[in-house]
Each structure stands twice: as structure tokens, then as C-alpha cells.
Amino acid sequence: MLEMGRHSGSHKQKLRKGLWSPEEDEKLLKYITKNGHGCWSSVPKQAGLQRCGKSCRLRWINYLRPDLKRGTFSQQEEDLIIELHAVLGNRWSQIAAQLPGRTDNEIKNLWNSCIKKKLWQRGIDPNTHKQLAETQGKNSVPNDLRLLTTTTTLGSPDPSIPKPAQSLMPAMDTLAAESSNPKNSATATMEFFEDRFVASQESSSSCHPSDSPGYFLWFTQNSRLFDLNPEFNCDTISTLAPSASSSILSTSMVLKPALDPPPSSAGITGISYREAGNSSSSSGSRGTSSTVIELQSSNSYFDSAIFPWPDLTPDKDPQIQLPGQPEELKWSEYIHGAFPVSADIQNQSQPLHGDIKTESHGLNSCFQNQQAQQQLQASDIFGKDFRRASVAFEQI
DNA sequence: AATTGCCGCAACCGCAGCTGG
DNA sequence: ACCAGCTGCGGTTGCGGCAAT
């Protein structure tokens, strides 16, 4: 392993390439654990590595980050990836933002190696998310709905495929159509919330996901925030957006005119919803202006601030990870012994760390004080995010 | 047992956006 | 306004493992 990998024999610039050795991993891990990464270009020098900063960054993000979840993808995760891909296309980073502990690279590989095949086997074009027959122009059923017809709410033709989480897509499809007329947007939004999300909670009178097995995945994922952060409880949510469940808050939907420029708010990932048939054109994924709906997803908040990343796999305990509970061991824990447990949410008022740059893609759960900082920043992001939603409600 | 082909994963490459000087 | 450096993203590639022959 040590010297294998592409270009491992390269001596240009005296920089190593190819696979990382355990020694290199350890150096990088130790350095970042102690110092944070700061400017990536200076990391290899300071960490004593003969790598470029880019390579170090990638290694950290894709492998060394303590919050990474290793192992195979659960069926729910796969289904979520498919659903998200139908909306987002090849924007792997945004898809990864919805899958705690997973990296964009990992998801991209999974898509290219497994999911594509599965979709083909189901008769679905993975690029368009249309039925193959439909791709040939025989049918006009909306793409996402058709995808979901085969994979989710409406039942799967393949009984071996478990019924996944309830999906946003049909509703988004409807909403997309309705929102093409700005005058309908507010109504559409509110109806969307009421029809889709409030209904999804009707199976339970409680806001706690664990009380409602029927809660769809995004809620169970993202609502952890509200369980863990006393600032954001169900009461707050219902006050701020009476007809929206917290799932909306985690991916608060804001209707915008079709030609609105993408949002530029730092820390808020804009998700543009387009016709699924267009969504897979990877080269056009940047700067697309055909946005009909934007999901103002507070991904960075959920990614960086709170989650202890309990495993999503159905065969494991789906319970929300509360502060103080032991976290699933990551491989890096084996190097350093026990890894610090997730941040103590109660300690948000503790002094903040210096100017260590936080990892935008995930949380460095080893830096508890950093986390506290992130939580505060995230609270702000959350607030901004919610304000945007509120403003949007008023404007439309 | 040896060879071949396929597959999945890890890592690299190039481009684009952002930011500060 | 321009430029350089940094970061992030998506596409692509190469290696190792494994199954099939």
C-alpha cells in the first residue's frame, strides 16, 4: 500500500503523490487535531509532509475527519441520494451535505459504481430519472414523481427494495408548477407545508422524531438539531412557521422568481430545483439561472454545529444521539484511543477558540470549543436562514 | 495455480468562485 | 479593475482486490 498509487514514483517538486501512508495520516491528523488546518497550503510544511496542501485537505475531508461514517450505505441513504440527485443533479457536495458523515467523493463513487446500475435495472435513466420508455418520449408524467413512484411513497415495483422515506419530490413538483406564477407562490408554499409536512407529522402529536417512526428521513436527520439545541425546540418552530414542521426549517424552502441569481449568503447552501431532466448536466450545474425553487438549506449549520452523526443505518440504533452518549467510534479513534464525545451542547457559553478555521464540510468534533463557536455561528446562520424564509413569506 | 477482466475506492486534475492586496 | 492565491467542486484516472475462467 505504502508506495502504491498513481504517480507514487513522482519526484517532481519533491511532493509525494498517490496513496497516503499511515505515517502521513498520523502526521496530518496530529497536526490538525492540535492546530486546526488554517491555511491548507501551509499545512504540509508545518506538519512535515511532502504533500501539497490540496492533497492534505482532500485527505482530511475524505478520510481523516473524525465525523466521517465509514462503512456501507444504508438503503435509506441510497434512496435519499437518488432523490437528491433528481433535484440537484451531480452537485455531490450538496448531496453530501444532507448525508451526515458522508463525503461528496464517497457519494459520487457510490453513484457511479452502484446506484446508476440499480436505476438502470429498475428501468430508470439515472441521468434524467425518467423511465427508460419515457425517455423515448412516450410519457409526460413528471420525472421526479415517476422516480418516486418506483422508489418511494407510491410503492416500488421491486418488492426487494424497501420503501424509503417519504419524499419531498412530488410536492416540489407541484410547487414548482404552482410557483411559476408568483402570485400563487405564497399560497403554494403554505399549502405545500401544510399538505406535506404537517401531514407527515399527523401520525404523531409529538415533535420528537423518536416518537414517530413515520417521520421522513430529512426530519429525523435534521431535527436532531432541535433536540440537541434547547434554543430550537418545537415551540420555537411552530411560532416561527406555524404550518411548517422542523423539516422545513432544516431545509427551509423559499420561493424565488425563476431568474433570481443564486444566493450568496455565506454558509447557506442554495439548492436550486430544476426540471430533473436537466439536472444531470453536470457541466451546467454551476451558475444555472433557471431556479424555480430554492431550498435554502442550512447545511453548514447542520454539518458543522451540532450533529454527533449517529448512524443512519436502519439496523443500528436510530435514536438521536444526545450529548454525553458515546459516539460511534471512528477509525481515528483507534489511533488516539477514545475520541472526545460530541460537544456538550450545554456549554455554548464557554470561551471561544481562536481563529482556527472551521471545516466547512463537517465538524471537527474533537474541538469542543470550536464546536461551541460553530454552534453560535450556526445559530446566527440559522437565524439568517430563517429570516430569509420569513422575509420570503412576506414578500410572496 | 495463473491469468484476465471487472469493480470499487482513493486520489489527482483542472476549472471556477471567492477574497484580499 | 486586475491579479494572485486559496478553496471547493466535479470529472477522471489508476491501483488493488476479487471473482471468473
> Do A60 and A80 fall within a single domain?
no
Domain closes at, from A30, A45, A64 = A64
Round and report the angstrom distance from CA (A219) to C1' (B16). Answer: 33
**Higher pLDDT among residues A266 and A78, named by residue:** A78
Average pLDDT over residues A77-104: 85
Q: Which bases of strand C sit closer than 7 A to a protein CB?
A: 5-17
Q: What's residue A26's pLDDT? A: 86
pLDDT, tens digit, 9 for 90 and up, residues A109-128: 888 888 888 887 778 878 77
What angle in degrees, to the nearest 10, is found between the helix axes of A75-88 and A143-151? 170
CA dihedral A130, A133, A138, A142 (to 10 degrees): -20
Q: Give a yes or no: residue A36 inside a domain.
A: yes
In this prediction the pTM is 0.47
DSSP-derived 3-state class of residue A295:
strand
> Do A41 and A141 fall within a single domain?
no
> Do A52 and A164 fall within a single domain?
no
Q: Give a yes or no: residue A333 inside a domain.
A: no
Report how far residue A261's alpha carbon sits from residue A200's, in angstroms, rounded to the nearest whole number: 32
Residue with CA nearest C1' of nucleotide C8: A93
Indicate if the pLDDT at residue A74 is higher than 50.
yes
pLDDT cut 70: percent of chain A above it: 30
**In which element (H, E) is residue A254 found?**
strand A251-255
> Do A185 and A248 fall within a single domain?
yes
Domain range enclosing A35: 16-64
Round and report the angstrom distance from CA (A23) to C1' (C3). Answer: 38
Nucleotide at minimal C1' distance from the A54 CA: C7
pLDDT, tens digit, 9 for 90 and up, residues A246-289: 333 333 333 333 333 333 333 333 333 333 333 333 333 333 33
Q: Give a yes or no: residue A87 inside a domain.
A: yes
Query: Which span out of A25-29, A71-75, A182-186, A325-329 was modeled with the highest average pLDDT?
Result: A25-29
Q: Give a yes or no: residue A191 inside a domain.
A: yes
Q: Give a yes or no: residue A69 inside a domain.
A: no
pLDDT cut 90: percent of chain A above it: 0
| Spatial CB neighbours of A56, under 8 Å, sequence gap ≥ 6 | A28, A37, A40, A43, A44, A47, A49
Indicate if the pLDDT at residue A39 is higher than 80.
yes
Q: Give a yes or no: residue A102 inside a domain.
A: yes
Q: What's residue A97's pLDDT? A: 83
> Do A206 and A131 fall within a single domain?
yes
Nearest to A85 by CA among A74, A75, A76, A96: A96
Rounded to 5, what percent of chain A is helix, strand, coil?
A: 50, 5, 45
> Do A274 and A132 fall within a single domain?
yes
Q: Which bases of strand B sit closer than 7 A to a protein CB?
A: 7-14, 16-19
Q: Which region among A8-17, A36-45, A55-64, A299-308 has the lowest average model confidence (pLDDT)?
A: A299-308
Cell of A199: 401531514
Q: Give residue A220's pLDDT band: very low, low, confident or very high (50, 70, 90).
A: very low
Number of domains in chain A: 2
Q: Mean pLDDT, chain A, as a whole number? A: 49
Indicate if the pLDDT at residue A130 is higher than 70.
yes
> Do A45 and A20 fall within a single domain?
yes
Round and report the angstrom distance from CA (A5) to C1' (C15). Answer: 6
Which residue type is seen at A348? Q
Nucleotide at minimal C1' distance from the A269 CA: C8
> Do A141 and A20 fall within a single domain?
no
**Distances in Å between the alpha carbon of A329 and those of A205, A249, A339?**
34, 30, 7
CB-to-strand B contacts below 7 angstroms: A 5-7, 16-20, 51, 54-55, 58-59, 62-63, 72, 105-106, 108-110, 113-114, 264, 266, 286-287
Round and report the angstrom distance from CA (A261) to C1' (B17). Answer: 14
CB-to-strand C contacts below 7 angstroms: A 1, 4-6, 8, 18, 38-42, 53-54, 57, 90-94, 104-105, 108-109, 112, 282-283, 285, 357, 360-361
**Distances in Å between the alpha carbon of A244 and those of A17, A170, A234, A350?**
49, 17, 10, 32
Indicate if the pLDDT at residue A57 is higher than 80.
yes
pLDDT, tens digit, 9 for 90 and up, residues A305-345: 333 333 333 333 333 333 333 333 333 343 333 333 333 33
Round and report the angstrom distance from CA (A184) to C1' (B10). Answer: 48
> Do A56 and A80 fall within a single domain?
no
Report how far residue A274's alpha carbon sits from residue A259's, in angstroms, rounded to the nearest whole number: 12
Round and report the angstrom distance from CA (A114) to C1' (B6). Answer: 13
Q: What's residue A84's pLDDT? A: 85
> Do A32 and A96 fall within a single domain?
no
Round and report the angstrom distance from CA (A4) to C1' (C14). Answer: 10
Q: Give a yes or no: residue A159 inside a domain.
A: yes
Indicate if the pLDDT at residue A98 is higher than 50.
yes
Residue with CA nearest C1' of nucleotide B15: A283
> Do A136 and A197 fall within a single domain?
yes
CATH (domain of A53):
1.10.10.60
> Do A94 and A52 fall within a single domain?
no
Q: Give a yes or no: residue A358 inside a domain.
A: no
Q: What's residue A135's pLDDT? A: 54
